[in-house]
Structure 1
Amino acid sequence: MLVFLVAAYGLSLWKENSFSKVLIVLCCAANIVYLFWRLLTTLPGNGLVNQIAGVILLATEWAGLLQMLVFYTLVWKPAKEHHVPLEELDRIPTVDLMIATYNEPVSVLKRTLAGCASIDYPRDRVKIYVCDDGDRAEVAELAQMFGACYVTRDQHVHAKAGNLNHALTQSQGEFIAIFDADMVPLKAFLTRTIGLFRNPDVAFVQTPQAFYNDDPYQYNTFSSDAIPNEQDFFMRTLQAGKARFNAVMFVGSNAIFRRSVLDAIGGFATGVITEDMATGMIIQAKGYKGLFVGDVLAMGLAPETWGDMLKQRDRWCRGNIQCTKKWNPLTLPGLSLMQRILYRMG
């Protein structure tokens, strides 16, 4: 047994990707054999209650197999990423950088504005918009300090989606980059993403949400240098797998959109908490593409307490349920089978 483990470890170091695929195949095969054994030999035969309970348990195990197969399909290999330098474009398009804010501290906003102002892009082709749903004088002064446009509105409806949709009516850029108030874009954000829109079918490009502070797991286990942020697995590994099936999920920040596509779908989705997921899904249902760039191009603040993390996850869960009720991915016209499965399973 020890020899086998040593050999397996050596093989994983020698050719890690191929070895992991062998393990995936073996794991799937073992689970399928087990479930057929369960189906053929272990179902209770005495008593109606026992039979019902046995069937429910077996159905749950088969559902687990489906979820496992979907997961392994995503991690089997990431989508191939492309890089199109700005120099290869016929012309440099105009871009509006939109920062959505409500009650975040000015000190946090200042870092984000400084990052936007430092982006490597022709100055006459980019504008910064501070979309303030808090109507704060100090935020207006901060926007003026950085030469940004300060945008507010009279009717504060539909939360963040309504805020951004109002800002769309106040701007003219061909592309719209979205940042949360605490997400600081790096200099290469536009030079790494804009070129990908050379393909007219590309509607949005999503980059990972990365963080410069420790999350509660890293902080409380003193493991910031030993373990990654707990969101990295979804934001980088699973998103790269989803990109193979044009099912990249818009996660609310660090993304850039083609304005004409947003106009075609009526702007960012409203009526749900997670307007980001709904917007990306609707765009893909219309036949447009969403691409994923694995490079970290913006960094922000992760929830620092368990309470904040629970509030965030509660919001995501309730928002996804709302999306399923309003735009059920299983019945929404235009989605492929794999897109339906991935959006339904999250």
Structure 2
Amino acid sequence: MITKKYQTSLLQKVVMISIFLVITLFFVPYSFELILSINFLFILFTGVSRVLLFPKKKKVVRVKEKTEKPFVSIHIPICSEPPAVVASAVRAAFNQNYDNFEIIIISNNTKDESLWKPIEFLAGSLGDKVTFINVKRLSGYKAGALNLARKLTSKQATYIFTLDADYILHQNALSDAVATITSRKLAVLQYPQSYSNTSLSTTGISDNYELYFDCFSEGANYEDVALPTGTLTLIHIKVLDAIKGWSASSITEDAMLGLSVLEKGYKTGFKNKVIGQGLIPGTFEDFRKQRARWIFGNLQVLLTLLQNRTITLKKKWFLSLQLTAWINFLGIPLLCVVYSTLLKLANPEINIYSILGLAGFSVFTHLVLYMGIALQKVSNHPLRALSMLCAHLSTIEYGAFYWWNIFFQKEKPFNRTNKFYKNGTFTIQDFITPLILLLTGLLLFISYPVAWYGAIVAVFGTLIFLAKLVTIYELGETRKAVKTSTSI
């Protein structure tokens, strides 16, 4: 059950910080300018670091498949998933061209028997290689399910391979993963998350997802500190036991596992080769919830990283870039624009143009740096880079404000990504940010038409509004591209 401490609204926290900023403006001269200047340094540092990170690709020697076939235990945690989706994932995992493996499926916290009973039957029909367990109540979210799977793992196992319920493995996935992790002498090996429900009309969304792996994971290979991302992950079982399993202290248990492994002095790696494909969320609601979970969970891990004294500063830099990949630091500039405008309307004598200038320059700098990374990602194809920017802008308020939650509460519930592809849903809440910016810009422009600030704010609000519409359309196209059979 979700307790009341999880029920607090992000809007309430934004209002609290906004009141603090307004009070500060009255009592501390040039306080907004000082806060904006410090915030700008964060935007500049993270943005430039991301641009510099992109070319840092570690040369990986081609690996030859070895004759040795160490035992691999494939762990598939499921919770209220569509049976047809899970069945496809299980069959693909079962049909590997690698003989020495087992599959453990942990169904947890699923009240509806019609969702897990078909998978139990399927597992039974596939023989002794597949184990299915249903647990009515299991704590620890996904980490809890994976820890239970570890207890059921065969004593023969050398590696554990984690797989999300919607991922269809290529037949050579295990062969490639085992050969790579042994040749590179890694404790953890991560592959990129790729998606099957994409098309030419969803390039913005798919490129936005791929950017994390092409930039952050690939760049982290330079120091052997690529963090796992929860699926398509191969882990040495002795290393998992050395860190005492999966930690439920973060809702991104994968990133926390990677940090725990690195703290023990082991190496982690990434191989940019598609060995399996999953499903992109089909609605904007699920898309933003997924992004919010990544932001908050990774900040939980970042706080743990900052307290670490054994990992070098250089490695911390690479790790921090991965953990802040979905953060944009635009919360303060956006708030400053809105509240300085309101203050100007209330008291025309207040000079807010330096505040608006710094805030606007901060936003502009972030967008330019993001486009720099996007153009590298798509090989200087401007239209694809703009599509990526739309996907980025569609959840801009989450990258701007959601990480603030970490200062108010240390825990949040694990919001599972819905795999039931029904009609898309979105609410007026999804458009609050662009509407506020649009209204702020219009008020400023109408009151002071000579100044061009209002027009720029209104245009930016309009761009975010349109970006959300484009993303909602693309997510609708991902629903159309789902070709999973409805039969088990």
TM over 0.5: yes
After superposition, residues 1-346 of structure 1 pair within 5 angstroms as 49-87=28-66, 91-121=68-98, 123=99, 125-133=100-108, 134=110, 136-147=116-127, 148-153=130-135, 156-172=138-154, 173-198=157-182, 201-214=185-198, 223-224=201-202, 228-325=206-303, 328-345=304-321, 346=323
Please, what TM-score do these two structures have when normalized by structure 1?
A: 0.77
Q: Give the Cα–Cα distance (whole angstroms) in 2 for the partners of residues 201 and 286 of structure 1.
A: 15
Q: Distance in 2 between matches of 1:72 and 1:285?
A: 27
More helix by share: 2
- Residues 280, 66 of structure 1: CA spacing in aligned structure 2 closer, same or farther, 3 A cutoff? same
Alpha-carbon displacement from aligned partner over 1:159-218 (angstroms, at most 9, x marks no partner): 11111111111112110000000011111211211123325851111000000113xxx7
Per the TM alignment, residue 49 of structure 1 is displaced from its structure 2 partner at its CA by 4.3
Which amino acid is the alignment partner of residue 171 of structure 1? T
Residue identity opposite 1:72 in structure 2: V
Structure 1 Cα separation of the partners of residues 96 and 63 of structure 2 = 17
CA apart distance, 1:287: 1.1
CA contact (8 A) 1:285 1:333 kept: no
**Distance in 1 separating the partners of 2:27 and 2:140:** 50
The 2-side partners of 1:197 and 1:294 are apart by 13
Deviations 1:80-126 (A, max 9, x none): 22332233x6x3211111111111111001110111112121x2x11
How many pairs are equivalent?
A: 288
SS of the residue aligned with 1:276? helix
Partner letter of residue 59 of structure 1?
I
Q: Judge conservation of contact 1:246–1:284 (CA < 8 Å) in 2.
A: no
Q: What is the match of residue 8 of structure 1?
A: none
Paired letter, 1:130:
I
Structure 2: runs of 5+ lacking an equivalent: 1-25, 324-488
Structure 1 pair 83–153 and aligned structure 2 pair: CA distance change class (3 A): farther
Mapped partners of 1:165, 1:137: distance in 2: 22
Change beyond 3 A, Cα 1:225–1:157: closer
- Indicate the larger mover: 229-238 or 279-288: 229-238
Amino acid at match of 2:89: T
Counterpart contact for 1:189–1:297, Cα < 8 Å? yes
- TM-score (norm. length: structure 2): 0.55
Structure 1: which amino acid aligns with 2:178? I
Q: CA deviation at 1:66?
A: 1.4
Following superposition, the deviation at residue 283 of structure 1 comes to: 0.5
Higher RCO (C-alpha 8 Å, min separation 6)? 2
Change (3 A) 1:285 1:342: same
- SS, match of residue 130 in structure 1: strand
Report the AA paired with residue 252 of structure 1: G
CA contact 1:247–1:284 (8 Å) conserved in 2: yes
Q: Is the 8 A contact 2:262 2:311 kept in 1?
A: yes
How many angstroms apart in 2 are the aligned matches of 1:209 and 1:197? Answer: 18
In the TM superposition, what is the alpha-carbon distance from 1:153 to its structure 2 partner?
Answer: 4.2
Percent identity of paired positions between Structure 1 and Structure 2: 25
Q: Is the 8 A contact 2:226 2:319 kept in 1?
A: no
Whether the 8 Å CA contact 1:81–1:292 is kept in 2: the answer is no
CA contact (8 A) 1:84 1:195 kept: yes
8 A contact 1:83–1:195 mirrored in 2:
no
Displacement, 1:289? 0.9
Q: C-alpha separation between the residues in 2 aligned to 1:272 and 1:58?
A: 32
Residue identity in the other structure for 2:171: K
> Is contact 2:143–2:248 with CA below 8 Å preserved after alignment?
yes
* Helix, strand or coil at the partner of 2:201: coil
